[in-house]
Amino acid sequence: MNIKENLKNFYDAHAEKYYQTRNKHRADADIFINEIKASTKKSINILEFGCGSGRLLAYLKEIKGIKINYTGVDISQKLLNFAKKEINWKTAAKHITATFVCDDIVHYLSWLKQESFDFVIGAASFQHIPTSKERFFVSKNIYRILQYEGKFMMTNRSFSLRFLKKYQKDFFASVRKYIWSLGKSEWNSIMIPRKDKKSIAKRFYHIYTLAELKKLVSLSGFIIETLWYLNKWRIVSWWKHSQNSIVIVKKTVFE
C-alpha cells in the first residue's frame, strides 16, 4: 500500500472522530481569517487542500462584506461527506458558496486555470505530501493558480524536543533508512503512529525545517511575509520549543 492510499484509508476509517472534533477552536484558522479580512476585494476565491470536514467554513462565516467562493479538496470521501452534511449550517451566511472535491491535491492542481484563486490554504496538510518532487509541483502550481497579490498560507507540524522524545523510535527509523539508502530517502519523512482503543495506525509526515520551507516557496516564486515556528500558536525563535510552523507567502510582481 502506498503512502496516499494509506492516508486515504486512515482518514476514511477515522472520519467520524475527526468530524466530532470540528468545534474545537483552531488558532491557525484565526491567523488565516485575519489575512482574508484584510482583502480589499468584494469577491474572493479560496482553495483549501486537506479540508477534512470543512471546519474552516465556520470561521469564514464570520467574515462580513466579502463574497466568498470556497473550494475544499480532500483525499477522504468520508470526511467530505461530513462536510456536505454540515454545509447548510456552516454557510447560513449567504455570502459563502462551497464546493467539495475528493481528489489528491497533486492531481487536482494540474488542471486548474491560471490565476483562478485569491487564497490557497493548507492547515496541517502539506506535511502529508510524500515526495520532494510533488511538494515542489504543488508549491509551483499554487503560485500559478493564484491571482497577483494572492496568498498561500499553511501550517505544518514541526520538530521539537517533545516531538523527538515522543517519537524517538520512529525518527531514528527514518534516519537509518536515509543512511541505508545513501540519501535517496528523506531523514525527516516519518511514519508517525496514532493509537486508538483497538489498534495503532501510522501516517506519513514530512517534518519541515524553516530553511526547507523557505527554499521551497522562494524557488516557486513567492515573496515571504511570515515564516515562523509556533508554540501554542505564539511565535518562538527556536525549533526545540515549537509545535508547528507557519508560512504566509504572496504572489506579486512589485518586489
Task: Select from 217, 252, 236, 42 the least CA-distant residue to 244.
Answer: 236
Neighbours of 243 (CB within 10 A): 18
CATH classification of the domain holding 224: 3.40.50.150
Residues 6+ apart with CB under 8 A from 127: 156, 157, 205, 206, 207, 208
Which residue ranges of the chain lie beneath pLDDT 50? none
Predicted confidence at residue 90, as pLDDT, reads 56
What's the pTM value of the predicted model, to 2 decimals? 0.94
Is 148 part of a structural domain of the chain? yes
Is 110 part of a structural domain of the chain? yes
Distances (CA, A) of 121 to 29, 105, 116, 248: 10, 12, 14, 9
Is 195 part of a structural domain of the chain? no
Predicted confidence at residue 89, as pLDDT, reads 58
Is 194 part of a structural domain of the chain? no
Helices (H), ranges, the chain: 3-13, 15-20, 27-37, 56-60, 77-90, 105-109, 132-145, 161-166, 168-180, 210-219
Is 196 part of a structural domain of the chain? no
Neighbours of 219 (CB within 10 A): 12
Q: Which amino acid is at 218?
A: S
Predicted confidence at residue 33, as pLDDT, reads 95
Predicted confidence at residue 17, as pLDDT, reads 79
Is 179 part of a structural domain of the chain? no
Predicted confidence at residue 255, as pLDDT, reads 53
Give the pLDDT confidence of 20-44 residue by residue, as tens digits.
Answer: 765 666 778 899 999 999 999 999 9
Looking up cell 493564484 gives 146
Question: Domain limits at 229?
Answer: 3-159+208-250
Q: How is residue 220 written as a grid cell? A: 516557486
Number of domains within the chain: 1
